[in-house]
Structure 1
Amino acid sequence: MNRLRRPFQIIRADLRAYLLINALVYGAFLLGLVLALIFPDLHAARTSSFVDGDQGALVDTVIGNPWTFGATIFLVNVFATALLLIVLPSLVIPFAGLIVFVIKTIDIGIILAPVDRTSALIYIPHSLTILIEFQAYALVMFGAYLLGRSWLRPATVDATTRRQAYARGLSRLGWLWLPALALFVIGAVYEAVEIYFLVPLVLGT
């Protein structure tokens, strides 16, 4: 039970910061959508780059099997994005992962912008995927923020040295990974269901 309660205790202890991190994550995504709608050429260029790049090739490889697709989504979200872009930079430079992920999130918003009727219809089921997966990212971002704050201000975690404060901040980040991982699993399963069942239903295909 302690494992279930501890992440929520950490969130309640710094609820304002947690809400601000959420505003930052979802706000960056919405900014990307707005930029794509204002600058259609930017959306076209980023979409073309995605489709023609390694990520597009990966999607083409796994799209044929729902289980493989869902597992790939989970692995990309956890390792290639949350760990590589948010956690690892933050382990070296305080708050660095927050900056990196905000830039990444704006780019995601640009690529996923509903610029036509088809993409707008896809947003009906896909909005839940965005909500779930970005909430998982927000939890990891919040943990990276707590790590950076602890590192720079040891008194916030009742530490006497920066090394001690770093360890306590890292512990909080680890606890927040528990609900984040649960959401990454739920998001990957739902996204597979969305792609193979809900999107064809919405589009009437």
Structure 2
Amino acid sequence: MRMIDNVRTVLRENWKTYLITNLVVYSTLVMTMIAAVYVPGIRDAGLGATEAFLSSPGAAAVLEAYTRGSIVQAAALTFLGNLLFASLATTTLPSLCIPYVGVLTTLGRAVFIGLPTAPTTLSEVITFLVFAPVLVIEFQAYVLAMLGAIIHGRSTFDDRRQHGSSRAGGYLAGVRDTLRLYPAIIAVLLVVAFIEATTSWLAH
């Protein structure tokens, strides 16, 4: 319960930023999909980048688990990949080194995923509509990670210093607020991983 209260407290104190972050991230995702449909060559570039990513050792291991039809392993690897890579390694940790950089990486992820995901045929539209709720839920985890990056940067440079705290104190306060969001990020990614693994198993 305390973890839930911590998440609620951070969201309540930063609700305007949270709403704006949602708007920016999902708008970027949608606009990227629209551009992929109407601008020649962009979607192909996105598909090529996705194929290159999926050929990497980590992604290949996840795909292999899905191919074997192992729900538990596929869900576990999907969860770990989304948590360790998409949330921690490319959003939170870089932002602790360079404040606010997680904003750029999250928007970049929206573009990276939006390009190959954009449907261009009727069958792709149907498939997209089926899986769209999962994509929306998954991106909520990335929105929360981006929110953490914004809170951390703001705490380091603005809010805490205005109240007499040192920059180091503001930095650490931002880290604490970011960590308070991670129970929600973990919960969202667990749900998404289970849904994706189960859906893939049923499809085969």
Normalised TM-score (structure 2): 0.89
| 1:49-64 map, 5 Å | 49-53=49-53, 54-55=55-56, 57-63=60-66, 64=68
- The alignment yields a C-alpha RMSD, in angstroms, of 2.0
Query: For 1:115, what is the secondary structure of its paired residue?
Result: coil
The CA distance in 1 between the partners of 2:146 and 2:161, in whole Å, is 18
Aligned counterpart, 2:6: 6
The CA distance in 1 between the partners of 2:81 and 2:171, in whole Å, is 27
Aligned counterpart, 1:85: 90
Contact 1:51 1:57 in 2 (8 A): no
Query: For 1:153, what is the secondary structure of its paired residue?
Result: helix
The CA distance in 2 between the partners of 1:117 and 1:40, in whole Å, is 19
Q: Which runs of 5+ in 1 are unaligned?
A: none
Aligned counterpart, 1:134: 139
Contact 2:62 2:78 in 1 (8 A): no
CA drift at 1:43: 1.1
Q: 1:52 to 1:150 in 2, by over 3 A?
A: closer
CA drift at 1:154: 4.0
CA drift at 1:10: 1.1
Q: 1:159 to 1:168 in 2, by over 3 A?
A: farther
Q: 1:119 to 1:66 in 2, by over 3 A?
A: farther
| Counterpart AA for 1:62 | A
| 1:63-74 map, 5 Å | 63=66, 64=68, 65-74=70-79
1:134-189 deviation line (CA, Å, top 9, x unaligned): 11111111111100000011437845101111111110000001111001100100
Q: Which runs of 5+ in 2 are unaligned?
A: none
The CA distance in 1 between the partners of 2:121 and 2:164, in whole Å, is 53
How many residue pairs get aligned? The number is 199
Q: What percent of counterpart residues are identical?
A: 25
Whether 1:170 aligns to 2:179 is: no
Query: For 2:99, what is the secondary structure of its paired residue?
Result: coil
The CA distance in 1 between the partners of 2:131 and 2:48, in whole Å, is 20
